[in-house]
Structures are given as structure tokens and as C-alpha cells.
Amino acid sequence: MTTQWWSAPPRQQVCYFATDFELLGIALDPLPADAPAVVRFRPSTTDSFDEQIRFLLTELERAAMALFPSWLPGAEQLEISGALGAAAVRAMASQAARRSQHFGPFLRDLAERSWQHRGVGSPFPPAVRAAGLARVIADAYGRESAAILMAIPTDLTPTGEQSFVGAAEWLAQHGKFDVWLAGNPLRSVDRVRTVAVALPGYLRVLAETVAVPVEPAIAGASPVVQFPPPSGKPRPDSPAELALERALALQPWAYGRKWNYTYEATHLTRQFRLDLYWAQERVVVEVDGSDHREPHKWVDDRDRDVYLQMYGHNVLRFPNEVVLADVQLVVQKIHHMVSRRRDGARIPEMRHHADR
């Protein structure tokens, strides 16, 4: 079996990939079945090591709370509210901790705050939070470990670069994360190991054909943290996807929709994650955040749209801003396309992957 690029880096250490951050993000979407649970970061620029740690732990905790209850077995079926619900969630967390390496008090606190939709702000020491969050994020995707892919900021001072790398090393040591740095080369720190990345052929072609400006016009426009969306549900960190699902849930015609669905036409072709999909009707709806305006992502989106159309799909794309400004208009456009496909000729059966 061929070793995949994400298996090459040393475990629970910091390494550097001399590859574009966005290309690696495309390669990890959908999250490969044998990869660790990968969270992607665009860290802020700061010269303070303590600020880097606080910032990273806050964003990881925010991601873990958004992924609840996927990391706590049984909580998704809990229908009790109020104090009884909180007590039940704490009991579930205690049971999960006894069956695993989780630290019970940390897991109970995180589960209760996630259940009650309280803000971030764990009372535990940073090292406890780092280790606990790594386990929670891995569990959310059924993986044995978690990794952090971090974009190296373009304007780090030498002191800032030392703090940035120091924070990454701290996360690897205390959280047991695999930490991958990517993008701009490190200029002041020489202790980070460089690992070669063998990207898939379609990404190598993309890298050779897309000219990326030295200072992208939309640098910093993407979300600070991105994590793989759970299969079968809208992204919990996407107000646009959540708003669209709330609107579609009221529509009788919207049956059969699948959120964040992994699709491949044949065993030999590339897999795609479709934001919203009607399989029988072959209608794909993509809800695009600001990262879809980045050069590699933009070109890859056009390529995958053509590919999907070749296999009989209609693809509708809506920027987040359009969905949030007039969700009913977006619903009407989707309804028109789904109805047209249902009223048309029978579409030949094709092979699809089950939700995962």
C-alpha cells in the first residue's frame, strides 16, 4: 500500500511542508479516511508566546464546542432540557472518560458548556486543555489522533516567528498534536524539520497553472480556524449553511437532501465533498465562504464544477453573503432546479458513496 503524504511527518512533532497552505487544504477536503482529524489555522501575528497559546486554545475549544455532540456518544439522542439535561450530559461524559484516556473533569466541563451553548473559557490549566481538546477533536471524527495545519503568517518579526514556532512546539508536546506548518518559509528558526509532500496529480497541475500573487488581495479574509464538517449535517461554524438548512426544513419538496456528502463517480476518480446534494436529482448546491475566492480554490472550484457536470449534475453556487441576505430567494432557486430535474427524463443511476 502506498504511504500517503499525511503519514510521512513524525508523530506529535512540528514539521514544515514547503507547499502552499491552500493546496494542502484542498487535498484534505474531504478528510481522507486514514488521515488524522486535521484542523486548519490561520494564526494571528503577534510577538507574544503567551498570546499565541491563549489564541490557539481558544480557537480549538470553539471548534470542539461547535462539533458537539459528535464526540460524546449518546448525547445526540438526549431530549432532556434544563438542569436535568446538563446532569445527563455530565454523566455521559463521566462514562466516556472511564472508557478512554479522557480526563473526566475536563470532559464533563466541556460537555456541559457545549450543551448549554456557553462561551469559551475553560477553567483548566493550558496543558490540560491542550491534551483534552486533541482527544475530543480526534473523537469527533472517529480518528486516533488530531493534527493542526498552520499557515505561517507573511509578516512575522524574528521574535514573532520564535513565538509562533514555540507555540506550535508547545501544542505538540502538551496536546500530542501533529503540527504541520505550511506556506511561507521560516526565516529565523532553523530547528523545524522539512518534510516532502507528494501531492496528488491534480494538485500538482493546479500548482503549476495557478499564479498566486506574493501578497494575495484577500489575505486574512478566510476564517481563523476551519475544521472538517460532519457528514450529514450543515457546517456548525457556517451561519449560511445553518440558515439555509432551517429554511429548507420547512419545505416539503426539499426531501432527500444530504449535507456534506462524499461523492465519487468511480473507484478511480477523485472524491468530492458536496456541501448540499440531492442524489436522485443530481443537484449540487455549494455555499461558498471567502476562502473560495483564493486563487487555487477558485480554479479548483471551476474544475470540479465541470467534472460534476460531465457526470450529469447541475451545480448551483451561492456566496455566504447572498444566502444570509436573502435565504428565501436562494431556496426558490434551488426549488426551481430540483423541480426541473424531477420533472425531466429519468437520470441514469450512478455510483455514490454513503454519508460518512
**Given the C-alpha cell 471567502, which residue does it identify?**
290
Cα 20 to Cα 277: distance, rounded to the nearest angstrom: 29
In terms of DSSP bridges, do strands 178-183 and 146-152 run parallel, antiparallel, or are they unpaired? parallel
What average pLDDT does the segment 105-116 reach?
95
Is 195 domain-assigned?
yes
Taking the C-alpha atoms of 295, 318, 351 and 24 in order, what is their torsion angle to the nearest 10 degrees?
30
Cα 239 to Cα 235: distance, rounded to the nearest angstrom: 8
- The answer on 126 and 206 residing in a single domain is yes
Residues near 123 by Cβ (< 8 Å), separated by ≥ 6?
109
Q: Which among 34, 38, 36 has a CA at the least distance from the CA of 21?
A: 38
- The answer on 65 and 20 residing in a single domain is yes
Is 352 domain-assigned?
no
Least confident of 173-182, 189-198, 214-223, 331-340: 214-223
- The answer on 23 and 140 residing in a single domain is yes
Which pLDDT does position 2 carry in this prediction?
58
Q: At what angle do helices 49-67 and 104-115 cross, to 10 degrees?
A: 60
What average pLDDT does the segment 231-259 reach?
97
Question: How many domains, the chain?
Answer: 2
From 181, 205, 226, the end of a domain falls on 226
Share of the chain above pLDDT 70, in %: 92
Question: Which CATH number does the domain housing residue 263 bear?
Answer: 3.40.960.10
Is 355 domain-assigned?
no
Question: Per 3-state DSSP, what percentage of the chain is helix, strand, and coil (rounded to 5)?
Answer: 45, 15, 40
- The answer on 207 and 134 residing in a single domain is yes
Cα 165 to Cα 157: distance, rounded to the nearest angstrom: 12
- The answer on 216 and 106 residing in a single domain is yes
Structural domain that includes position 183: 5-226
pLDDT band at 212 (very low <50, low <70, confident <90, very high): low
From 160, 191, 226, the end of a domain falls on 226
Q: Is the dihedral of CA 236, 320, 244, 22 positive or negative?
A: negative
Q: Are 42 and 151 in contact (CB under 8 A)?
A: yes
Residue 320: alpha-carbon gap to chain centroid: 16
From 158, 192, 226, the end of a domain falls on 226
At 251-302, the pLDDT tens digits run: 999 999 999 999 998 877 889 999 999 999 999 999 998 888 889 999 999 9
Cα 111 to Cα 94: distance, rounded to the nearest angstrom: 10
Residue 30 in this model has a pLDDT that exceeds 70: yes
Bridge partners, 150 (sequence order): 41, 181
